[in-house]
Amino acid sequence: MKETLTYRTPERLDTVTAPDVLEQLLALAAEEPEGIVIEMEDTVYISSMGLRALLQTQKELEKKGGKMSIRGVKPMVANIFEVTGFSQIFTICG
């Protein structure tokens, strides 16, 4: 039975942290879970590199029939998702 995995993002998801986050998320996606929940309650900033890491993870999961959702998004990060249009791409839950 496939399971849903949870991944907690760091305080800043930027050019410094995004490569490691992407590597870890792709490793989780390789396990072919039913889905991955990205827990962002600790994240106060996300850059374009962070957005790209999340998008790449979502695409990889979708190839394998999995889904990605994001929760615990702080208002500042939610605003970045909104302004960039990523709020239309990602499933963001309360």
- Dig out the tokens for 10 from the structure: 């760091």
7-28 pLDDT per residue, tens? 999 999 999 999 999 999 999 9
**H-only helix segments in the chain:** 18-30, 48-63, 75-84
Domain boundaries, the chain: 4-93
- Structurally, what CATH architecture does the domain formed by 4-93 represent? 2-Layer Sandwich (3.30)
Contact 33, 26 (CB under 8 A): no
pTM of the model: 0.94
Closest of 67, 79, 65, 3 to residue 38, by C-alpha: 67
Mean pLDDT within 25-47: 96
Burial category of 11 from C-beta neighbours within 10 Å (exposed 0-12, middle 13-18, buried 19 and up): exposed
59-81 pLDDT per residue, tens? 999 999 999 999 999 999 999 99
